[in-house]
Chain A
């Protein structure tokens, strides 16, 4: 099939022309965290392959994951996952044509943003409490 002929069409205004809104910010963050989690699945694969390979491979993974940079990446991964999860829940309302009023849309977006940070801190606090110092 021949490629459609390229026609110069007028473009709609893009990002830089709009003022900041939380729905817009969470939409962008949702996409960025999604791409981050995509890359992060390589870590999940590494962990599982190390666990399947043997104690040495697992020790190697754990030493990297336990280093300060490993913990930093894992902390970021936790936040990305929780934020993407909470932010993603909004789409179920919007698919059902609910929560489109400006105030409601802002409210659930702020809730997802703040809830994401609080849950991330709570998960790490629980981890530290359960296992002593990390």
Chain B
């Protein structure tokens, strides 16, 4: 054994103790939060500016390359952030193993599905088809 293992043999075969992973979610959560903070200020300003705008104006605004890029960046960070946030919530409150796994799966489908829909729509608006 290269590393000192303080667990008893019984604890080890019961799979108790460190899984040697699990900090990725925390790091991604903070990194995406750092991206979302300024981008959501941009989003709020954009939405306020677009209130009452007609279809052509709104489409031209969202279709501007800079706006599209910022919007897709925001959505991407949003998707990663919200998936982990709800994943942690499910892991905290859903204790039945089967329900937990299907809930986590549904969470991933919803999060990535929303991301896919938003990015496709933003690209379609941006490319003007």
A-side residues, CB < 8 A to B, are: 1, 3-5, 7, 31, 34-35, 37-38, 41-42, 44-45, 48-49, 51-52, 55, 58-59, 78, 81, 85, 88-89, 91-92, 95, 123, 126-127, 130-132, 134
B44–A45 touching, CB < 8 Å: no
Expressed in whole angstroms, the minimum distance between the Cβ of A77 and any Cβ of chain B is: 10
Measured CA separation A4–B125 after assembly (Å): 50
B residues within 8 A CB of A59? 55
B78 lies within 8 A of A41 (CB): yes
Q: Which of these, B48, B110, B111, contacts A130 with CB under 8 Å?
A: B48
How far is the CB of B95 from the nearest CB of chain A, in Å? 10
- Decide if B117 touches A38 in the complex (CB within 8 Å): no
Q: Which residues of A contact B36 (CB under 8 A)?
A: 85
**Is A38 in contact with B48, judged by CB distance below 8 angstroms?**
no
Known A34-B85, A37-B82, A41-B114: A52·B125 in contact at CB below 8 Å: yes
Report Cα–Cα, A47/B50, bound state, in Å.
12
Task: Please give me the 8 A-B residue pairs with the lowest Cβ-Cβ distance, nearest first.
Answer: A48-B121, A52-B121, A131-B52, A4-B15, A52-B124, A55-B55, A45-B117, A131-B51
Contacts of A42 in B (CB 8 A): 114
Q: How far is the CB of A42 from chain B (nearest CB, A)?
A: 7
A contact residues around B59 at 8 Å (CB): 51, 58
